[in-house]
Structure formats: structure tokens, C-alpha cells
Structure 1
């Protein structure tokens, strides 16, 4: 077949497959579309706390969509350039086929396309490359029969949801915790007289101006911090438009520069030259200087190259990026104060969710509504796993749901173990496993009864602190109520007597 026509046909086939892949992913989970790209009044339900997705899986899919959209743009440019460059050659080739008057040349052109028509699965070739769960290992894929619908569905692990075309981003680092420790250390060493803790720095690094000791050091600090925040924003929000944010920065900095040049600014500062001035006379003289006017002419070129931008641009960029990364800053603080055990339990829960099976081809009525497809899978299994009643036969399904046996209750104190049904969950509070967990938290055996029905580690620790505070308060009240008499016959409270005795007055 003609190499020109074949390359164009293949490129168009790729474009069609990518469009179909993007559509299928958004139909499966509309929440993948970022809020900045949605309509003002959208009716997409929030994802909420859904076991079908973890943060990692959700962001992996967004990175896959970003990769597919970039690949679509590059292939579209190739097609357009090919059509423009080879239009004459293609027209001549088609004209020769038309003049021939037979279908011989046409049959030669389409002969490669007619090969292997009966081979392979329904989704073949290019479409298979972009198919959801295309990177799944064939050994882990299984076929299951839905009893209620009588259909066979293909199941795969959620951790394999990416396509072959985007399988290289499977191991991308998607941690939503900011690592600003090196910037915090640099800040304490160069820009402050008294050191501040790391948590305080997380909420104050974007509050400018700093106490600047060295302009070059300050500029290199701003550049490094800006580049880190920019890369982190792209990793956490791959479908958001970073170009729009940078345009917002440029407009605000340019407006500030023009205001200062016209004497409208509240401070005597030149954003173009990145200089502060003490008096209005010196400031106005600077605005009329050749050096300043030369930089103003080049300001258009300056804003196209990040390396030559003024410090004010970097400061404003850091402030805007910090606003967009507010959720990540809160998550970083939460990570710092959380215990290692809580982190381990959370990570283990994420791994368990990713290793669960879900349908490869979903009909759009489960995951698109934000519900886990594994829930329907479990419902199918319930009829063969119903517990036996007193007569030795499985209990009715309505009774199974009435007793809450279809729900799983988890206890953090027991190591995030799940218990099926409310009765089993309430019984486990008297088990040795739960009491061992309380003991590890430092709770005395005689207080176990006070911690009944508490399954969260944070709630248990808060209650323990409250009980200790109440015990200290009762002890102090008891000592105030006790009256004693010293050797001279003076009557006083026991607390006052101990204070005087420590001072050597009794």
C-alpha cells in the first residue's frame, strides 16, 4: 500500500482510538474531569469516600488522560502537516487509480487491511493499545458469571487499570505530601533572625517580603521553590491548565509594574528592575533612566523566559501555586502529626482496594455513579455464602441484610480488622485482640469498660487524655477539701500545708 496513504490512515485510526479511549474513561468516572474545565452548573456527583478508587488510582487515570491528550495533539499535528505536504502526491495517485478504470490498484491498496480479519479479539490492533485495563497481566484476569444477569464478565485488578500506551506511568511518584524541609532549613539560615518550626513554615513560606540578606541567594531560593511547587502541582493536578495560572501571574505583575510607574502603587517598588526605593524623588528619577526604559522595552521578551523574570514574578507565582496546593499543605501537616501505625494502616487499606477485582467493560451504571463494581460482585456471591439458620438451611437474603451482615465494620485498634455485621462488631470489644490493642495504647485494664464501642485510635487517645485530666482535677479538689492543723494550731488546707512545708516554714 502507498506509504503516504497508509501513514495517514494509521494516524487517523490512532486519533479515533484515542478519542474513544478518552470517552470511555470519562463515562466510567466523570469526576476525572477537573472542576476548572467543567461548566458553571455541572451535575456530576462528587466521588466521596468510594472504595472503588484510591487517590493513587484516581491520579494515575488523570495522568493517563493527560498522556493520551498530548499524544492526540501530536498525532493531529502530524496528520495536518502530512496532508498539507503530500496533498499533490496523493491527488496524483488517486487520479491514476481513477484513470485506470479497474479495481486492480484499489484491491492492491486494501489487500493488507483484509488480512487476519477473523483473527484476534473483538478489540484489536490500535484500539487494544488504548483499551482500559490493557496493561493487565493475562494470568490475573479472570472470567466470572453473573448469576442474576446470566452474563460472563471479565474481571481484573484495579491496579492494572491503565492501557498499554500509558503503562510507563504505572510507577510514577504520586505522593500528595509536600517535601519543603530543605527550603525550610534554607529559610531559617538566611531569611529570619529567629528559627520557626516546619509546620509554621508550611503556612508562611508564601508571605512576602522576606528579610533579604543577599539578592542572589534570595533569587536562587525563589527559583528553586517555584520550580518545585510547579512540578508538584502538575503531578497532583495533571489535567489542570498550568498555562492559565502563569498568565494570571503575568497579568498581576505587569499591572503592578504599570501602577508603580504611574505613581499609583502603595510602595515605591519597580517590578521590572526588582528594586525598592526610599523616596519618591529617587523613584521618579529611576523611571526616567535609560536603564529602566531599556528593560521596559524588553519586558515582553522577559516574560517569555522564566529564567529572566523579576523576583516579583516568582513571588506572585509562589503565592498563587500555594493557594492551589492548599489541600496538599493540609495533608502534609496531617502526615507530620499522624502516627506511624496510622500511616501503615492507611497504606495497607489502599493496597487492599487496588488488589480488588472489578469489571473491565462496565456498562456505565456502577462506576459512573461513583459506586464500586465489586459491591455488585459481592451481592452475587451472597446467595451462595449466606449463613445457616437454626434449621440448618441458609437464612433468607432479606434477613441477612436486616441484620446488617452485608456490611463490614472496621476497628483501627485491632489493626484495621473488618467484622461482618453489627453484632459481631459489638462482640469483638470483649475479645482478647481488642483488649491487647487497648493495652498497646497505654490504657489500664480496669478502664477497658470505659472504652467500649470505641474503634478509632484518635477517639481512644482523646478519651484517655480527658480521663487523666478529670483524675488530676478530682485529686486537687480532694486535697482542697482536707483540712490539717500545724504545730501552732493553725487550720489550713492540705495543699497550703504542703506548699508551706516545701518552703521550710512548717
Structure 2
């Protein structure tokens, strides 16, 4: 017996109502810990997706583009009283025939299937560094950043602070393919992390609102970091324009300087490489030749230039790149607390020994199903004591014993602060101080312990070099050799006598 369209519609409405009741029931249940809350949110997200798909099916049925629903309603009505009853008995006959052919058929209760949704444990993949959604794992993106042309060498913790701040990246490097791919990778990871940790977050609504605001700001030239981007609006910025009417030869144009020529070439979408003469020749081409008639080999790969009212317009991917930056910054606002916790976790791990990290990992595994996040949030810490390896404030007596309220600054480490005498003494052997000493060209020996000033380190190194120059051991003159007769010679004399065959 095939289901009628009206029966499908009724069942769909029933499914939607049942799912709504299950969602309400699930949300009323208080989660025991972070893991349970995450599973709860994913179960609710799955049920919401089922409601959306079922509702889409209902909308399609009610639109009735093929008039199937209208025809079925007309067939149920029949024509007159006789037609109505004949249609009813025909349906009843079909139902009886079906159960006669399938006597063992049982009634399927859809409620049982939906109750299983509340018991399932969703499979969510996290890396070890993410600690089941507590922290971000941006090591791959960090390596991509520091190994790129637009990036800079920095620590991982500094990268977590600054990866969302794109204002320090030069404008010409933002238009490269490498930077665009980097932004795509960041967006892909942040969206994936948000979907895994906050499945009830409506990303589509967030991005829709953001894009509307972005379009208005872009039209007004008020997008942060892109305020002077006048090329997209149809005219080059005044700073980058060179009036070629004042120059009659390439040699005269070369007097402008390489940087000014580079800015003018970037504004036109032309290549900026080569010597100053090659730059001037490339720019001088535009004096008598329209941009659309210049050989494509002179343009940057991937850039397309148009001409509107005699002014060059670069219609590339600038708006798309600016939009990706805006999306990344909005996602960072949503994940602000997670980013802060990630940085704190990385700094804490740098101060732990291997044994302490293993103990922390084992304790987290044991307490993952029993410890509630509410208890962690209610930790009373009015003195703002440092957190121990167990995630709780250390005792105050231990804080005083180690002098953690005492700050030591090291100029060689870039004025980095070390709290407590122990951390201060240990840092002389750590990578940050060693890197600072290498930059100064000074060996990091015991002679330089307790030296934190760059000037003092340089003065001490000069004194050591002077002392080594006066008291330097000279093996040719001071190394002693003895012949068979017991005579003592220095190395140089012994070698000379031996060559002459005298000894």
C-alpha cells in the first residue's frame, strides 16, 4: 500500500512536533560536564537539521507545483454523496487487502526511533592539542605564517595574539596568492572548530549580517585597513599617481626614485620587479598606450585592469580578501575566550616538566566524565595566584616561598618578565636568553649568569676578549716535549730538531 500525499504531509507535521518536544526535553536536562554539554549540543543540532529537512519537504508539498496535492484532495471529495462513500470504501478495501497479504506486519512506532536520538553519542574529532574543544590548535597555520613572505618570525604565543590583526601586513603582499590561501586556511579551521565546539551557533546568520555591513563600509571606503583603497572605487590614490605629462624621457622619470615608481606600478596593476630603469620603462609605456592595449606580460599575474573614465581600476580579489579578513576577525571575536585560554595553556606548558605534563594529561582523562565546568568557573581566586598543573590556584605559602610576586626583567630577552627567583635563574639556560645572546654575538657561558643588561654583557665580553689576548695559551711555545735523554723542549724546537735528525 503506497502512502498518499496527505498521509506523508500529516506524518511530516507529526515528526516536526515530536522533534521539537525532544529538543525542548534535551535542553531542559542539565549537562554534567563539558563533554556532556558538547554531546548535548550536537544532538540538538542534529535534530534541528532533521526539522529543517522535514520542513523543506513540507514546503515543497504545499507549493504543489505538479498539482498532485490538489488532485488528491479532489479525489477524496468525490462527486456527491455516492462518490464520497465509494471513494471511502475503495480506500478501506485497499487497506484490508494490504493486511491480508502481510498478516505478520507490525505497527512501526516512530517515537522509538526518535528516542534513540537522545541516547546516541556523537563522534567528534579533535586533535590532542585541542583537548576536546578547550583550546585551538593553530600550529600548522603558525608555520605557514612564519615561512611566508608576509609573515615574521615570532613565538607561537605572540602569533595567537596577533594573527587576527592584519594591519601590519604591507598592502602589496595582501594581494598575493599566498596570502589569500593563508586566509582561506584560517577561515576553514576556525569555522570547523566553531562547528565542532559550538554547533548551535548560527554561522550563516553571522556571516550574512557581516556581509551587509561590509558592503556598506566598502562602498564608503571605511573598511578598517582598506580606507585608502581607492582603486576599487575607480581612481588611484593621490600618493601613488605620477603625472607622466611632466616627463618626456625614461631618464627623467627615473629621477622620481624606485619607491615612488613601485607605488605607481602597483596602482596600475603592473609588475614592480627589475632595476629602476626597467620600472621607469614599464611605467613610461602607459603615457602613450592605453592600459587595455599594453602587453599582458607587463601585468602582475592574476590581476585584471579596466579603464573607467580614463582612470585605471584594478578589479581583482581585493574586496574578497578584505571580506575574508573581516570574517576572520568576527570569528576571533566569537572565539575570544578560547584564544585567551589557548595562550594561557601554551605558557603553562612551557613551565611544566615532562612528568608534570603526563600527570596533568592522566588526571584530565580520569576527571573528564566527572568534573563539571561549573566547578571550574567558581574557583575562588581573589589574590590572582598562578594556576598550578591541576588547573587550580597554587597555595599562598608556596607563592610566597618561591617569591612569585617578585618581577625580574631581562633586556637581553626583549624586556621579558620572569616572576620568581627560580624562573629568573632558569631562564639563563632557556632558548629565549640563548637566542638573545646569539644575536649579540656573545657565547652564553657561566660568566654571563645574572647579566640581563645588553650594555653590561657587551662590556664583560670585551674584557674577557682582552684578557684572553694577553694570557692566551700558545701551544707552539708552551707545549712541552721530552727526548730520550730527558731533555725538555717546546713544541716548535722539538719539531725542528726532529726534522734535522738531531734527536
| TM-score for the superposition, normalised by structure 1 | 0.50
Residue 21 of structure 2 is aligned to residue 20 of structure 1:
yes
Question: For 1:238, what is the secondary structure of its paired residue?
Answer: coil
Residue 113 of structure 2 is aligned to residue 129 of structure 1:
yes
Q: Of 56, 77, 84, which residue of structure 2 is paired with 1:77?
A: 56
Q: 1:9 to 1:266 in 2, by over 3 A?
A: closer
Please tell me whether the aligned partners of residues 271 and 310 of structure 1 are also in contact (alpha carbons under 8 angstroms): no
Please tell me whether the aligned partners of residues 187 and 324 of structure 2 are also in contact (alpha carbons under 8 angstroms): yes
Please tell me whether the aligned partners of residues 232 and 314 of structure 2 are also in contact (alpha carbons under 8 angstroms): no
1:317 is aligned to 327
Q: 1:78 to 1:228 in 2, by over 3 A?
A: same
Q: 1:292 to 1:275 in 2, by over 3 A?
A: same
Question: For 1:15, what is the secondary structure of its paired residue?
Answer: helix
2:481 is aligned to none
Question: For 2:361, what is the secondary structure of its paired residue?
Answer: helix
Residue 206 of structure 2 is aligned to residue 235 of structure 1:
no
Larger relative contact order (C-alpha < 8 A, sep ≥ 6)? Answer: 1
Runs of 5+ consecutive residues of structure 2 not aligned to the other structure: 127-131, 243-262, 269-304, 350-356, 376-387, 405-419, 422-463, 468-503
State the distance in 2 between where 1:248 and 1:126 align. 38
State the distance in 2 between where 1:172 and 1:184 align. 21
2:342 is aligned to 332
State the distance in 1 between where 2:151 and 2:203 align. 35
2:362 is aligned to 344
Q: C-alpha displacement at 1:267, in angstroms?
A: 4.0
Q: C-alpha displacement at 1:467, in angstroms?
A: 1.9
Please tell me whether the aligned partners of residues 15 and 76 of structure 1 are also in contact (alpha carbons under 8 angstroms): yes
Please tell me whether the aligned partners of residues 274 and 311 of structure 1 are also in contact (alpha carbons under 8 angstroms): no
Q: 1:459 to 1:74 in 2, by over 3 A?
A: closer
Q: C-alpha displacement at 1:63, in angstroms?
A: 1.7
Residue 41 of structure 2 is aligned to residue 62 of structure 1:
yes
Please tell me whether the aligned partners of residues 268 and 280 of structure 1 are also in contact (alpha carbons under 8 angstroms): no
Q: C-alpha displacement at 1:176, in angstroms?
A: 3.1
1:162 is aligned to 119
1:22-421 mapped onto 2 (5 Å cutoff): 22-29=23-30, 52-83=31-62, 84=64, 85=66, 86-96=68-78, 99-101=83-85, 104-108=89-93, 125-131=109-115, 134=116, 161-163=118-120, 169-173=122-126, 174-191=132-149, 194-212=152-170, 213=173, 215-260=176-221, 267-270=227-230, 272=232, 277=237, 279=239, 290-291=306-307, 310-336=320-346, 337-338=348-349, 339-352=357-370
Question: For 1:310, what is the secondary structure of its paired residue?
Answer: helix
Q: Of 400, 406, 413, which residue of structure 2 is paired with 1:466?
A: 400
Please tell me whether the aligned partners of residues 184 and 201 of structure 1 are also in contact (alpha carbons under 8 angstroms): yes
Q: C-alpha displacement at 1:197, in angstroms?
A: 0.8
| TM-score for the superposition, normalised by structure 2 | 0.51
State the distance in 1 between where 2:364 and 2:327 align. 33
Q: C-alpha displacement at 1:340, in angstroms?
A: 3.4
Question: For 1:208, what is the secondary structure of its paired residue?
Answer: coil
Q: C-alpha displacement at 1:324, in angstroms?
A: 0.4
Q: C-alpha displacement at 1:322, in angstroms?
A: 0.5
Q: 1:118 to 1:76 in 2, by over 3 A?
A: same
Runs of 5+ consecutive residues of structure 1 not aligned to the other structure: 30-51, 136-160, 355-369, 373-453, 474-502
Q: 1:247 to 1:10 in 2, by over 3 A?
A: closer
Question: For 1:130, what is the secondary structure of its paired residue?
Answer: helix
Please tell me whether the aligned partners of residues 177 and 328 of structure 1 are also in contact (alpha carbons under 8 angstroms): yes
State the distance in 2 between where 1:54 and 1:108 align. 56
* Deviation digits for residues 51-82 of structure 1 (CA, Å, limit 9, x no counterpart): x4222221222122122112112112212323
Q: 1:109 to 1:345 in 2, by over 3 A?
A: farther
Q: 1:72 to 1:231 in 2, by over 3 A?
A: same
Question: For 2:324, what is the secondary structure of its paired residue?
Answer: helix
Please tell me whether the aligned partners of residues 19 and 47 of structure 2 are also in contact (alpha carbons under 8 angstroms): yes
State the distance in 2 between where 1:243 and 1:89 align. 38
Question: For 2:135, what is the secondary structure of its paired residue?
Answer: coil
